[in-house]
Amino acid sequence: MSGKKIRVLVADDSAFMRKIIGDILAVDPNIEVVGRARNGIEAIVLLSELRPDVMTLDMDMPGKNGIEVLREIMSANPTPIIMVSSLTKEGANVTMQALKLGAVDFVTKPSGTISLDMKKVGGELIQKVKGASRAMLKNALIHPVPQKPASFASMAKMSDSHTPPPLPRREITDKPELVVIGASTGGPNALQTVIPALPADFPLPILIVQHMPSGFTTSFAQRLNENSELAVSEACEGMPVRKGAVLIAPGGYHLVVERHGAELLCGLRETPPVRSVRPAADVLFKSVAETTIGSTLAVVLTGMGKDGYDGVKLLRAKGAYVLVESKETCVVYGMPGAIAGEGLADEILPIDAMAEGIGRAVRQMMGAR
């Protein structure tokens, strides 16, 4: 990266955390820490005065907490914000709320409010600040209300009334066995638009990799389950992959698929991160390419980086159909853009049309001879 530096405001009520976060960011020559706020009220004032490109915002602060500050900023002075959260159940729930309110992403303090080992996540923090500086903030603030079809059949009829996608559709010769989805930055809100829009009789299992740390995927799966017709849960070792189930890779583990006779089962692996993430969509997609007999529908949503690219190439070589989210609705167009840029996408759809596109593609694939 070259040229203008990314100007960052750090907000945390701990002087130690303000210093360590600022020092971590200042190591990168492309980042400049322009201010440090001691509380929520000062954060709002300094944001208005300094106009930073990105702000890191502690969740727990006196006066105004992180959520209150976030809500006020997004209403009056929208700015890309990285939330700094604790690794607790409460922290996970509040973080989900923050993402819904428009926070671009989050990092977790490794060992509580005052984390002496914050440098453990230093690389992640720098990467996410850089990603946030390029984020399409308006898309983080827009959450389409999912349409809930009564059945898969009615969903298929809905898709007939819409204009065909701009890319030619390939013929699929094998019956579909799975839907796999990869997402990162902006993914929680995108998935909360797509999954609740799928009917209870959706005919295939769905496996999801969303980049999140341990504990946060539990909270996310529960929230998604509450709003969906399908049963959503975290994947567990040995869990059957069955129709009507939406399984989310747990934070800190790669999710793979294993075949035992006629049945597919989930496997969890603590092997090294791939493209700096665990879980990684590439690991899931590659295991599906190696394991499944039928075809696969692969979906890649908003996210920073290129996770999913290698896996999609393998899946597509085995006859998979590939949908990616369009740039016009992505918070970050990295993951889908890498696939679309190489001509590996069969359809490029905005997030509010993605559930319908999934239904159309699955129906088309189920008609394969």
The residues annotated with a catalytic role in the active site are 184, 211, 307
Compute the distance between CA of residue 200 and CA of residue 27 in angstroms, rounded to an integer.
50
Which of left, alpha, beta for 324 (phi over 0: left; psi -120 to 50: alpha)?
A: beta
Give the chain's radius of gyration (CA, Å): 21
Cβ contacts of 4 within 8 Å, gap of 6 or more: none
Residues 11 and 15: their CA atoms lie apart, in Å, by: 10
For helices 281-291 and 309-317, angle between their N-to-C axes, nearest 10 degrees? 20
Sign of CA dihedral 303, 307, 309, 311: negative
Contact 7, 15 (CB under 8 A): no
Backbone phi, psi, residue 7, to 5°: -90, 125
**Rounded to whole angstroms, how far apart are CA atoms 94 and 99?**
9
